[in-house]
Structure 1
Amino acid sequence: MKFIKNIQNSIEYNSEHNVLCVNNVFYSYNDFATEIKKIRYAIANTIESTEKLIGLVTNDDIQTYASIIALWLEGKAYVPVNPEVPLDRNLQVFNSTQTQYVIDSSKESVYNNHIVISPLNLTESYPDLNPKKIEGEDLAYILFTSGTTGQPKGVPITFNNVQALVNAIDEEPTFNLNNTDRCLQMFELTFDFSVVTYLFPILAGSCMYTIPKGVIKYFYIFKLIKEKELTVLTMVPSIINYLRPYFHEINEESVRYCSFGGGALHTDIAKEWSNCLPNCKIFNYYGPTEFTVYSGFYPYHKETHTKSYNGIIAIGKPQKDTLYLVVDDSNKEVPIGATGELCLGGPQITPGYWKNEERNKLSFFSREENGEQIRYYKTGDLCIKDEEGDFLYVGRADFQVKIRGYRVELSEIEYHAKAKSEKKVNMVAVDIYNKLGNAEIGLAIESNPFDTTQIFEYMKSKMPNYMIPMHVEFIEVFPHSINGKIDRKALKKHFNIS
C-alpha cells in the first residue's frame, strides 16, 4: 500500500524534525518511531493475526498517534472511542465490531472485559517500520456516527479508500505541505476530519499541534496560531465564530493554508477571517465520513472567489476520481440550476454501514454510466449545480445537523430523551443558533413544565456532551404544518437564546 510505505519513508527521513506538540511538549519523528516500534511489537506478539479491528482509546498523546501507525503497519484497523464519552456508548461500539483488544494509553483502563495493551508500560521493540503486505480491501478504520435508533452507525473505511484520498489531495497543485509546516490538529480522533489533520502532516514530515482535553478549545487555538506561528489550519467554521471577538488582534502572516469543513461557511465571517490571514489560501472542503473525509472543495478568495447560496460559501467541484450527482427523490439526475440531493461516487466510497443492510439500502444506489455500474452514496445534503460546474450547498434533506463539527441525528436525541421520561409526551430536538452563529441543541417538550433531571441524567449516560440539549422549552401545544406534521421551524421560534 503506497501511502503506508510513504509514511514509513517520511518518519525515517524526518527523524530530527518535530512530529507533535502536545500541551507545549515537543516530540520528534525519532521519538515517534520509537513509540511505534514498541506498540507494534506488542500488537504482533499479543493480538492474533485474524483479529483486524482493534479498539483505540483516543487520548491526546504521542502513544495514541503512534498506535494508529503501528496498527496500519500490521495491516489492522483502529476503532476509536473517546474516553470522555459515556463508557456504555463506547462498549456499544466495541460490541458492534466484536473488538476484543484495546490499545489504551490511560494511566488506568476501564475496559476490564477486554485485552488491553498499555503503551505506557512497553519495553520490547519491533526491529523496523517496514509494513506488512496489506490488501486494499482490508479496513483501515471504523468511525461511529450518530444513529437514528440510539445505536451509533459504523462507517468502515478501507486502505484503498484512504489511498484514493491521498491520490486526490496529491493532485491539487495549490496544496503542498512540507517538513517545515506547523499544522493545527484540533479534532478528536473519533471525528473523520482528524484523518486528514494527522495523515497529511505525517506524510509531509510536518509538525502537528494538538488541543489538550479540558481546555477552552477556541482560546487555545487562538494562542497556538499567534505564539507558535502555525502555517496550516484545518478547522470547523464554528471555531472562527468563537474567535470573532479577537479578529482585531489577529494578523498572522505565517499561515499559508486554511481549510474549512464539517459545517456551513458563511460569506460574512469568511471575508472577515481572510483579512486576519493576509498570505493565506482558504479552501472550503466538503465531504462526509462515508466518503473518506474530503470529496471536493471551493477555493475561496474574498475578492475573486465568493460564490455562495443564501449566504453560505459554495462547496465547489469534486476532486480527482470523485463524481458528484444531484438527484430527485427517484434518484434521477436533476437539471443544472435545480435543487436536489447530492450523491457521491468514486473510489473513496465506504463499503457500506457496518452490519446495517437496512440503512445501506436507503443510503446507496448504483446506476449505469458509460457501460459500467457506478455506486453512489446519498449524502442527505441538498445542492444545486450551477452553469460553471460549481456546487452550491442549500441545506439538509433530513433532520441531521452539525454540532461543533460533529454530525448529529436529532432523532437519536429524541430517542434517549423519551426513554426515561415518566410523561409520555412529544419531545422534539431542534438545532438553534446563538448570537455567534453556532448551532446548539434545543429540546421542545409538549407539556406543562416538569422536572427533567432524570431525563438529562439518562441522556448524559448515553450520549457525548455535544448531543445534550442546552435549552429546554415547554410548549402546551406544538405547531403543526398543513399536512399534519410537527412544524419544526415554528418550534425553533420558541427558543430565545443569546
Structure 2
Amino acid sequence: MLEKLQAKLDEKYVNCNVKQVIIANVILLYGYFKQRDMKICILEEGNLIYNQDFSFGGTESLQDLSNEVGTINMQDKVFELTNIKATIEKDKNGNQYFSIICSVDSKIIAIKSLLYNTVTIYNDMDLVSNLLLVFKQINCDRTAMLKEFDVLTENQQDQILNKFSGKKVEINKEDNLVGIFQQNVEKYPDNIAVVFEDINETYDELNRKSNQIANYLLEQGLKKEDLVAVIMERSNLMMELILGIWKAGGAYVPVNKSYPLERIKDIVSDADPYFIIHSFDEGSEKREAYADKNCIHLDDLLTDAKLCSDRNVCEIESSNQLAYVLYTSGSTGKSKGVMIEHIGMLNHMYSKIIDLKLSKKSVISQNASHCFDISVWQFFVSLLLGGTTVVISEEVILDLFDFFDELSRNQVTILEVVPSYLEPIIDFFSEEDPDYSIMNSIEAIIVTGEKFNKKLADNWFNIFPDIKMVNAYGPTEASDDITHHILYESPKEDFVTIGHAINNMNIYILDNDLKLCPIGVIGEICVAGIGVGRGYINMPEKTKEVFIKNPFEKRAVRLYRTGDYGKWMNQGNIEFVGRKDEQVKVRGFRIELGDVKNILLKHPEIDNIVVLCKENEMAEKKICAYIKSFRKIDRNELNSFFCQYAPRYMLPNEYKFIESFPLTSNGKIDVRALRTF
C-alpha cells in the first residue's frame, strides 16, 4: 500500500521541508485523531527547538495553517519522504504522543504531538500511508480547508464502509409479522403461542382473538397508521391487543400504568391517539389524563370484540407502514415519541433468529416493560417460528425465587436482562448451595440497555460456562439492537465489545464533521439501514437534527446519530465508550468517563461503578465515582491503583460508596437520582 501511494506522488513532491511536515501533522491531528486542540513540539537530536499550542475549528486554509505554525528553525531544510516514520508512543506517565521522525542533514528530527483523545494502538497501523496521503493533497489543492482533507486511504475507507457493514439479507417488501404469523397458524394451530401464569394460548386461539379485536377496531373507524394507546399490564391479553391493532392497520403506543399522571398526560397529548385502551379501575385519578379522548376499558373492549368476526384480517399494505411509537426520556425532560416501521421491526427480529439460531422449539422470556424497546421482539419473535412466548409479570420479576421458578417451569430457552438485573441474578447463584438446575433450559442470556462490564461476564461464566452470552446494543430509534456480540467465554480484553452490525444495517463512527473515524479512534456511533425509524412524532426540528441523509449513500437514505461514542477494533467489532455527553474536558484534557469506569472496575474489590461529571459552586468540572464494593476502599489506595493504568489527569476528584444503585422502571441505573446522592 505504501509503495503504491508513493508511486502516485509526482517526482517533485518526493522531497519536503520541516514546515510542510508540521502542517501535515496538524491536518492528521485534526482529521485522523479528531483533535481541535494541539500541543506540538520539535526536537533536534533530543533538544527542544519548537513548542507551540494550537486550536483549530476546521475552516482554516493552508495559508492560515502556515501563518499559525510560524517560523521554525530548519524549516526550509529538505529531506526525502522515504526516510520518514510515523508512530504512536507512550511516555512514563501514560500520555500518548503522535510522533513523526525524519532525518535532516544527518540529524534526527522528532515532531511530537500530545494526543488528548486516547487512541487504541494496533500492530498493523500504517500511519505513514496517511501522512503521504495528506502530503499529496497539500501539494495538489492549496485552497482546501482543514476539515476537507481526506486522511484515510482507499483501503481503510473500504474496510470501514464495506467489510465492517452488516450482512445483506433479502427481506420481501410484502412480508410483515402479521402475515407470517397467520401462515404459522395454518402450520402449527395447536402449538402454544403464549403463556401467562396458568394460561396457555395456542396459535389458533391467539389468531382468532386478535382477529376479533382487529375487526372491532375497524368497525370503530380505525384507519391505516392511526395510533392506539395501550395502558395496561403485560399479559397474553397485551399480545392479543397489539396483534389486533396491527391487523387493523394501526400502530400502538405503549404507556405504563405506573407512570405519574403528568407523564401519561404528556404522552397522550403528544401522540393524540385515535383510540385509548386502558385497564384503570373506576375512579382512578389517572383517567383524567385522557378524559376528552376516545377511550375504552380493556374489559369492555374484550366483551364487545367477542361479538365481532374472527376471520383473518391484515390491513398492513406495506412493510414501511408504522408499527409503533415508543416514548423515550428526553434530555430536556420532554418525552420523545420514536416512530418505527414494520420493516425495521421485522429486520431486528430476523437478526435475532439468525444470530441466536432460534426455531419453533424456542421459548422466549418476555420480562421487559412494554414501554422498553426490547419488549417488542420478546413478545413477537416466537410467532415468526411457531415458538412460544412466556410473559412474566412484574410481581414475579421482582422475586428471584419466583422468577427462576417461572423460567424453569416453562423451560425458557432465551432470557434477556439489563446489566443492573444480571448482577442480582449472579449474586443469587453465588449463595450457598444454589439450585443450578433451574437454568438447565437456558441456551443464551442477552444483556442490553446499559454498558456491560467484563467483571459481570467473568462472574457469569464462572457459574454457567456452558450458557452463552450476547452483548446487544442499539437505540430505540433504529428498531432496537443494531449490534450483537456472542460470547462463549469471558473476553480476554478488559472490556466487552458490542460486536458487529446486524443484518441490513450499516454502522459508521464519525467525527463532528461527519467524516469517518479510523480504527482505534473515538467518534459518534451512527447507523443507517432499514431499521432506522422515521424520526420523532411532532418534533420536526429534533428529527432533522439527528435523522439526517446518509453522506455515504447517493440515495436518500436515513442515518441516525445515536449520541453514543465508540471506536472500531481492527476486526470490525465496536468498543462502546459511552454517551456523547460523557466525554468531558477537565484541566484541558478530554476524558472519557467510560475509560475511568473501566479502569476502576479492574480493582478486585469493586463490584460495580458509575462515573459522572459534576460541577461545583465555581462551575468547575469534577469527576465523581459512585462505587459499590465489598468495603470502603481508602482514597489513596484507589488513586495508586488507578495510576497503574492511566495518567493522573484522569483521576476522579471524588469517590462515593453506596450499597445499591437506584433503578428506573426499566431496570436501568437511574443516573438522575444518583446525582442527588
Q: Normalising TM by the smaller chain, what interval?
A: 0.7 to 0.9
Q: How many Å separate the matches in 1 of 2:274 and 2:609? A: 39
Q: How many Å separate the matches in 2 of 1:149 and 1:88? A: 15
Task: State which of 458, 461, 471 in structure 2 corresponds to 1:271.
Answer: 458
Partner of residue 180, structure 1: 361
Which moved further from structure 2: 204-213 or 64-73? 204-213
Matches within 5 A, 1:218-297: 219=400, 220-248=402-430, 249=434, 250-251=436-437, 252-297=439-484
2:307 counterpart letter in structure 1: E
Task: State which of 362, 366, 369 in structure 1 corresponds to 2:549.
Answer: 366
Task: State which of 295, 298, 305 in structure 2 corresponds to 1:116.
Answer: 295
Q: How many Å separate the matches in 2 of 1:339 and 1:79? A: 35
Q: How many Å separate the matches in 1 of 2:426 and 2:349? A: 33
1:160 counterpart letter in structure 2: I
Matches within 5 A, 1:361-400: 361-369=544-552, 371-398=554-581
1:185 counterpart letter in structure 2: Q
How far the C-alpha of 1:317 sits from its partner, in A, is 0.7
How far the C-alpha of 1:133 sits from its partner, in A, is 4.3
Q: How many Å separate the matches in 1 of 2:245 and 2:329? A: 25
Secondary structure of the structure 2 residue equivalent to 1:437: strand
How far the C-alpha of 1:494 sits from its partner, in A, is 6.4
Partner of residue 437, structure 1: 608
1:208 counterpart letter in structure 2: T
How far the C-alpha of 1:382 sits from its partner, in A, is 1.2
In the alignment of these two chains, the number of paired residues is 425
Partner of residue 191, structure 2: 17
Structure 1's 78 and 371: CA in aligned 2 closer, same or farther, altered over 3 A?
A: closer
Task: State which of 263, 271, 284 in structure 2 corresponds to 1:89.
Answer: 263
Task: State which of 175, 182, 189 in structure 2 corresponds to 1:2.
Answer: 175
1:38 counterpart letter in structure 2: Q
Q: Does 1:137 align with 2:312?
A: no
Partner of residue 674, structure 2: none
Secondary structure of the structure 2 residue equivalent to 1:47: coil
Partners of 1:238 and 1:438 within 8 A in 2: no
Task: State which of 364, 378, 386 in structure 2 corresponds to 1:197.
Answer: 378
1:43 counterpart letter in structure 2: L
Larger Rg: 2
Which moved further from structure 2: 62-71 or 354-363? 354-363
Task: State which of 62, 65, 71 in structure 1 corresponds to 2:245.
Answer: 71
Deviations 1:196-237 (A, max 9, x none): 111211212222222223445361433323443321112212
Q: How many Å separate the matches in 1 of 2:427 and 2:498? A: 26
Q: Does 1:126 align with 2:305?
A: no
Structure 1's 373 and 218: CA in aligned 2 closer, same or farther, altered over 3 A?
A: farther
Partner of residue 497, structure 1: 658
How far the C-alpha of 1:266 sits from its partner, in A, is 1.6
Structure 1's 74 and 100: CA in aligned 2 closer, same or farther, altered over 3 A?
A: closer
Which moved further from structure 2: 36-45 or 270-279? 270-279
Partner of residue 350, structure 1: 533
Q: Does 1:478 align with 2:616?
A: yes
TM-score normalised per structure 1? 0.77
How far the C-alpha of 1:185 sits from its partner, in A, is 0.8
Which moved further from structure 2: 98-107 or 192-201? 98-107
Which moved further from structure 2: 99-108 or 55-64? 99-108
Structure 1's 266 and 367: CA in aligned 2 closer, same or farther, altered over 3 A?
A: same
Q: How many Å separate the matches in 2 of 1:296 and 1:33? A: 32
Structure 1's 35 and 439: CA in aligned 2 closer, same or farther, altered over 3 A?
A: farther
Task: State which of 216, 224, 231 in structure 2 corresponds to 1:57.
Answer: 231
Which moved further from structure 2: 89-98 or 14-23? 14-23
Deviations 1:45-74 (A, max 9, x none): 113426711111132222211111111111
Q: How many Å separate the matches in 2 of 1:490 and 1:246? A: 26
Structure 1 unmatched runs, 5+:
401-432, 445-476
Deviations 1:131-168 (A, max 9, x none): 12423332110000001232201100012222332444
Partners of 1:218 and 1:242 within 8 A in 2: no
Task: State which of 398, 402, 414 in structure 2 corresponds to 1:217.
Answer: 398
Partners of 2:211 and 2:313 within 8 A in 1: no
Partners of 2:527 and 2:562 within 8 A in 1: yes
Deviations 1:334-373 (A, max 9, x none): 1111111111111111111112122223323334336445
Q: How many Å separate the matches in 2 of 1:307 and 1:363? A: 35
Task: State which of 506, 509, 512 in structure 2 corresponds to 1:329.
Answer: 512
Q: How many Å separate the matches in 1 of 2:541 and 2:321? A: 23
Partners of 1:100 and 1:115 within 8 A in 2: yes
Secondary structure of the structure 2 residue equivalent to 1:15: coil
Q: How many Å separate the matches in 2 of 1:351 and 1:38? A: 30
How far the C-alpha of 1:247 sits from its partner, in A, is 1.9
Q: Does 1:41 align with 2:215?
A: yes
How far the C-alpha of 1:314 sits from its partner, in A, is 0.3
Instruction: Please tell me the root mean square deviation across aligned C-alpha atoms, in Å.
Output: 3.0
Which moved further from structure 2: 313-322 or 55-64? 55-64
TM-score normalised per structure 2? 0.58
Secondary structure of the structure 2 residue equivalent to 1:43: helix
Partners of 1:105 and 1:120 within 8 A in 2: no
Which moved further from structure 2: 214-223 or 138-147? 214-223
Partner of residue 622, structure 2: 487
Secondary structure of the structure 2 residue equivalent to 1:243: helix
Q: How many Å separate the matches in 2 of 1:26 and 1:439? A: 42
Secondary structure of the structure 1 residue equivalent to 2:215: helix
2:311 counterpart letter in structure 1: D
Q: How many Å separate the matches in 2 of 1:225 and 1:167? A: 24
Task: State which of 321, 328, 335 in structure 2 corresponds to 1:152.
Answer: 335
Q: How many Å separate the matches in 2 of 1:336 and 1:51? A: 42
Secondary structure of the structure 1 residue equivalent to 2:394: coil
Q: How many Å separate the matches in 2 of 1:205 and 1:104? A: 29
Partners of 1:140 and 1:159 within 8 A in 2: yes
